[in-house]
Amino acid sequence: MGLRLLNYLKTIVWSGIFLGFFGLWLIPNAVYGEPISNFIFQFNLGSLVSFLGLSLIVYCVIIFIERGNGTPSPLDPPKKLQIVGPYKYTRNPMYAGYLTFIIGLFINTWNVKFLELALLFFVSFHLFVVLYEEKKLKKLFGQEYVRYTKKVKRWVPLLF
């Protein structure tokens, strides 16, 4: 089995674990009993935002596997620093994709639990990135990563 195929399979497994948790616990707790908006525009806008977030996640996964010879999992990260595609503009586009997906769910439902979830995820992602991931990437990629952090913002291009 080729390395790329193995990386795709590992990514599917990790994604299944994450989405299984998300789908089997978080979404029903937030949505049941709360009707999806009757406003077609709102529903379509929310769906578009969620789709854009999901597309960004998938694009980042493909970059990690195809160019980085790794997976999105911290247990099996890319072997090469990726500074292409969305990584040219933000150091954490995959996390931004997750947040965008959840915000799209909020727009669909107007359920404040999705905003709370987005805030919880952002704080968790930020702490994980600052306390663990950036240190690990600096150790793995050295000065190449340090130069990258000076050029590209952590979250929002040109801001922070």
Q: How many helices (H) and strands (E) does the chain have?
A: 7, 0
Average pLDDT of the residues in 72-85: 89
Model confidence, pTM:
0.77
Contact present, 107 and 46 (Cβ < 8 Å): yes
How much of the chain exceeds pLDDT 70, in percent?
A: 82
Task: With a cut of 70, say whether residue 25 has pLDDT above it.
Answer: no
pLDDT of residue 156: 86
Mean of per-residue pLDDT scores for the chain: 84
User: What's the burial of 75, exposed, middle or buried (CB within 10 Å: 0-12/13-18/19+)?
Assistant: exposed
> Which pLDDT band holds residue 46 (cuts at 50, 70, 90)?
confident
Task: With a cut of 60, say whether residue 120 has pLDDT above it.
Answer: yes
pLDDT of residue 102: 95
The single residue listed with the structure tokens 């340090």 is 146
pLDDT of residue 152: 96
Tokens representing 160?
């922070």
Burial 2-16 (b: 16+ CB within 10 A, else e): eeeeebbebbeebbe
